[in-house]
Amino acid sequence: MKKLHTLLFSATLLMGVAAHAQLRIDIAGVGSNQIPVAVAAFADESIAPQQVSSIIRADLERSGVFKVIDARQSISDKSNIDLAAFKASGADALVVGSVSKLADGRFDVRYRLLDTVKQGELSRMADAVAPRNTRLEAHRIADDVYEKLTGVRGIFATRITYVKQNPAARDYTLVIADADGENEQVAAHGREPIISPSWSPDGTKVAYVSFELRKPVIYVQDLVTGQRHVVANEKGNNSAPAWSPDGSKLALALSKTGNTQVFVVNADGSGMHRVSNSNGIDTEPQFSGDGQSLYFTSDRSGGPQIYKMGVNGGQATRVTFNGNYNISPRISPDGKTLAWISQRNGGFSLYAMDLASGQEQRLADGATEPSFSPNGKYIMYATKGGGRTSLAVVSVDGRIKQNLSTQAGNIREPSWGPFMK
Amino acid sequence: MMAAADNAGSGNTGTAAKSAAPTRDNGYIAAITAKVKGNSSYGGDLDQPGNPTVTFHVEQLPTGEIISVRKTRSSGIAAFDDAVEKAINKSSPLPKKKDGTVERSLEINFHMKDMQ
């Protein structure tokens, strides 16, 4: 009997080992390039002037990075949640929250970000906000969701500036708005053109060119006080202001010497000095991320091309070689990517180049006046369509393209503001 | 009885191994592939040389519930490895065979790009 048991036991052992041989499965290609996130309505969010969960949903959807799933219910941050049910719905993460009114009239906005797969909390926030800042708080929550799920800082709570114009009616407005085009405020308004707005690195000022004196003059306006001062009103054209990364200087294009050349000036208008040195047109200067170089457009080789020189001038090296019309250089915040406008086959297109490899990619057609988002992931630009000019956003890899919430009128010259502290 | 035990214990190891080894049940493999692939999302740059592949050893209970997911070979791209691990975990419980059984051990090779 014992021998039988031993033999049966060893047989079972052998069969057991054989049964544990692995089944090999090969899977090729990912199902989606978007992260599925479920967003629930926040408990009591209708007491606030803005519906927080809809703003969060719109931000996440517009980014192109998420597949937003409507949780179809209101879930408070204080609830016990059946995360397994959400995992089964296909969501990787769930956004929940609540809004309650405080005695001083402010709203207490709370949110939690939950991982449906690992079944834990990824993040939470709780802030008391004035009613008029409900929108901004929703954007800040969307930024937190974006950052926790992608590792990249979000831009939903940033602001942009642009020019809205009706030339036929001689009506020009410099507008400050949220990055989604909402919440427009007027920074300057007049009957003469306003062009080339440029946001200061600390987000408190905008430099721009105004023709109100019947010639182009560069102003810097403090957005907090509304006060502005003249930075350059030299003989001829004063144009294309661009801030240094530390906010202490501006690079400008001035034609005071007869031909347009690149100058640098302190932010208060003092210390103006010439930096470029050619007999042609050098214009549209942009500081590099480290503030040590200037990229600019020059016609020194015939048609306009983009060059780079030290911030104190000297030898310039050419950067663009394809096509014979390359203008409007913009440098990504990390200094690694050049975006610019190239005229090829009759139209203007937005291109991006990896500066290390020189590899180019066409991102959008019918595009002018580009501006990088502060996280370097998106470029906003002006585009014509339907008889008017409006703003659009393209991701730096070209995958995602969106039109900005269409305000009426002709909108152009966008400048994307920085991260606010 | 002794004869039966002898058969089971000795010469039949070869036969036992063959019948217990995973037969290529293509319907079963397709069901698991579809579920894991459908649950996968990866936002990183797909423009990589070759076809990066990550391999996971997966253990499941007879119910299909996944009890262990262990990376045995990285693709070289940590974010892609993580995305695939998440897709596997999201797919628990895994689909069963037509006869209601499962393969307890799986080796899943996930390739970043579709094979043309």
**Residue count of chain A:** 421
Mean pLDDT of A224-244: 96
> pLDDT: is A89 or A210 the higher one?
A210
Q: Please give the full DSSP string across A81-94, using - where no structure is assigned.
A: --HHHHHHTT-SEE
Task: Give me the pLDDT at residue A168, please.
Answer: 84
Question: Superfamily for A159-416?
Answer: TolB, C-terminal domain (2.120.10.30)
Q: Which of A4, A19, A32 is closest, CB to CB, to B1?
A: A4
Residue of A6, A8, A10, A30 to mutate, testing the B interface (most B Cβ within 10 Å of its Cβ) = A30
Q: Which of A14, A22, A150 is closest, CB to CB, to B105?
A: A22
| CA–CA distances in Å: residue A118 to residues A58, A115, B32, B87, B115 | 26, 6, 20, 12, 30
Contact criterion met (CB below 8 Å) for A39 and A60: yes
Task: Tell me chain A's radius of gyration from C-alpha atoms.
Answer: 27
Q: Which of B8, B40, B107 is closest, CB to CB, to A24?
A: B107
B71 within domain boundaries: yes
Structural domains counted in chain B: 1
Is the confidence at residue A7, as pLDDT, over 70? no
Q: How far is B84 from chain A (nearest CA, A)?
A: 9
Task: Give me the pLDDT at residue A386, please.
Answer: 78
Task: Give me the pLDDT at residue B1, please.
Answer: 45
ipTM of the complex: 0.81
Q: Where in chain A is the domain with CATH 2.120.10.30?
A: 159-416
pLDDT tier for residue A363 given thresholds of 50, 70 and 90: very high
Chain B residues with beta carbon closer than 8 angstroms to that of A399? none
pLDDT tier for residue A332 given thresholds of 50, 70 and 90: very high
d(CA A136, CA A145): 14
**Does pTM top 0.90 for this prediction?**
no
Is the confidence at residue A12, as pLDDT, over 60? no
B16 within domain boundaries: no
Q: State the DSSP code for A404.
A: P
Chain B nearest-CA residue for A36: B41
Mean pLDDT of A186-213: 96
Q: Which of B20, B21, B29 is closest, CB to CB, to A25?
A: B29
d(CA A142, CA A97): 12
B19 within domain boundaries: no
B32 within domain boundaries: yes
Q: Which residues, listed in sequence order, are joined to residue A46 by a DSSP beta bridge?
A: none
Q: Are strands A107-115 and A120-129 parallel, antiparallel or unpaired?
A: antiparallel
| CA–CA distances in Å: residue A100 to residues A47, A157, A295, A354 | 8, 22, 50, 48
Residues 6+ apart with CB under 8 A from A100: A44, A47, A107, A108
Q: Which residues, listed in sequence order, are joined to residue A161 by a DSSP beta bridge?
A: A176, A415
E strands, A102-149, are 107-115, 120-129
Task: Give me the pLDDT at residue B12, please.
Answer: 42
Cβ contact, residue pair A31, B38, below 8 Å: yes
Q: How far is B108 from chain A (nearest CA, A)?
A: 5
Mean pLDDT of A259-265: 98
Torsion angles phi and psi, residue A314, rounded to 5: 90, -160
B81: domain CATH number is: 3.30.1150.10
| CA–CA distances in Å: residue B100 to residues A24, B94, B96 | 19, 12, 6
Task: Give me the pLDDT at residue A1, please.
Answer: 56
Q: Please give the full DSSP string across A165-214, using - where no structure is assigned.
A: EEGGGTEEEEEEEETTS-S-EEEEEESS-EEEEEE-TTSSEEEEEE-TTS
Between A7-21, A73-87, A101-115, A340-354, the lowest mean confidence (pLDDT) is in A7-21
Q: How far is B79 from chain A (nearest CA, A)?
A: 10
pLDDT tier for residue A348 given thresholds of 50, 70 and 90: very high
Continuous H helices in A308-379: none
Cβ contact, residue pair B16, A18, below 8 Å: yes
Cβ contact, residue pair B8, A7, below 8 Å: yes
Task: Give me the pLDDT at residue A8, please.
Answer: 55
Residue B81, domain extent: 27-40+51-116
d(CA A132, CA A289): 34
B79 within domain boundaries: yes
Helix (H, G, I), strand (E, B) or coil at A380: strand
Task: Give me the pLDDT at residue A167, please.
Answer: 79
Task: Give me the pLDDT at residue A16, please.
Answer: 44
Contact criterion met (CB below 8 Å) for A119 and A84: yes
Chain A residues with beta carbon closer than 8 angstroms to that of B114? 28-29
State both tokens at B79: 């974010």
Mean pLDDT of A164-187: 92
Q: State the DSSP code for B22.
A: P
Mean pLDDT of A317-326: 95
Mean pLDDT of A143-154: 95
Chain A nearest-CA residue for B29: A25
B6 within domain boundaries: no
Mean pLDDT of A213-227: 96
Task: Give me the pLDDT at residue B47, please.
Answer: 84
User: Which regions of chain B are under pLDDT 50?
Assistant: 1-19
d(CA A159, CA A137): 14
Mean pLDDT of A398-413: 84
Q: Where in chain A is the domain with CATH 3.40.50.10070?
A: 35-150
Q: Which of B13, B40, B57 is closest, CB to CB, to A30?
A: B40
Torsion angles phi and psi, residue A153, rounded to 5: -65, 135
Q: How far is B16 from chain A (nearest CA, A)?
A: 6
Chain A nearest-CA residue for B85: A117
Assign domain A35-150 to its CATH architecture.
3-Layer(aba) Sandwich (3.40)
Task: Give me the pLDDT at residue B10, please.
Answer: 44
Mean pLDDT of A180-209: 95
Is the confidence at residue A421, as pLDDT, over 80? no
Q: Which of A21, A28, A150 is closest, CB to CB, to B115?
A: A28
Residue of A3, A20, A23 to mutate, testing the B interface (most B Cβ within 10 Å of its Cβ) = A23
pLDDT tier for residue A2 given thresholds of 50, 70 and 90: low
Contact criterion met (CB below 8 Å) for B75 and B54: yes
